[in-house]
Structure formats: structure tokens, C-alpha cells
């Protein structure tokens, strides 16, 4: 039986690929990684959107630092 795994990573004003969690999970293999971006730096958000498309991962911009619980609740919606 295969177990489906959907990791969710919350980042704030940092690049996706500087995330230790992302780097470790990406080594495991094909899975549906979602990035919740709490960044308020427009350059970081733009870069993360572009990188997410190249890395084939789901990217959800939170439009600022909305906090952990709101970010995770948005993912669950």
C-alpha cells in the first residue's frame, strides 16, 4: 500500500530553496509539496513564485505575515 504524503512548508522572507525542510523533502522523491509564503518582501515573493513553477511545486502567497494558523487554515480550505 502506497501512502500519499502532502507536505506543507511555511516560509517568511526567504527563498524556497534555502528552506531546510524543502531541501530534505525534495530528496525523497516525487510528492506534492506546497509552499505557504508569508513573505512581505515583493522581490522574495516574485522569486518564490517563479521558482515554484520551475520546481513544479504548489505555491500559495499569503500576502504578508498572516501567522501560522491562518496560513495552515488557508491550505486546508
> Is residue 23 one of the residues assigned to a domain?
yes
Query: 25-45 pLDDT, tens per residue?
Result: 999 877 899 999 999 999 999
Q: What are phi and psi of 52, to 5 degrees?
A: -60, -35
Q: What domain range includes position 32?
A: 8-76
Q: Residue 4 — very low, low, confident or very high, per pLDDT cuts 50/70/90?
A: confident
> Is residue 56 one of the residues assigned to a domain?
yes
Average pLDDT of the chain to the nearest whole number: 92
> Is residue 1 one of the residues assigned to a domain?
no
- The total domain count for the chain is 1
User: In the chain, what percentage of residues exceed pLDDT 70?
Assistant: 96
> Is residue 3 one of the residues assigned to a domain?
no
Sign of CA dihedral 34, 39, 44, 47: positive
> Is residue 2 one of the residues assigned to a domain?
no
Q: What are phi and psi of 15, to 5 degrees?
A: -75, 150
> Is residue 54 one of the residues assigned to a domain?
yes
Q: Alpha helix (H) ranges present in 29-67?
A: 42-55
Query: 64-73 pLDDT, tens per residue?
Result: 998 888 888 8
Amino acid at each position: 500500500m502506497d501512502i500519499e504524503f502532502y507536505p506543507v512548508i511555511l516560509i517568511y522572507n526567504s527563498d524556497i530553496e534555502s528552506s531546510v525542510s524543502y531541501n530534505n523533502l525534495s530528496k525523497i522523491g516525487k510528492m506534492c509539496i506546497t509552499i505557504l509564503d508569508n513573505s512581505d518582501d515583493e522581490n522574495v515573493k516574485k522569486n518564490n513564485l517563479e521558482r515554484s513553477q520551475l520546481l513544479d511545486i504548489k505555491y500559495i502567497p499569503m500576502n504578508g505575515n498572516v501567522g501560522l494558523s491562518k496560513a495552515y487554515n488557508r491550505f486546508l480550505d
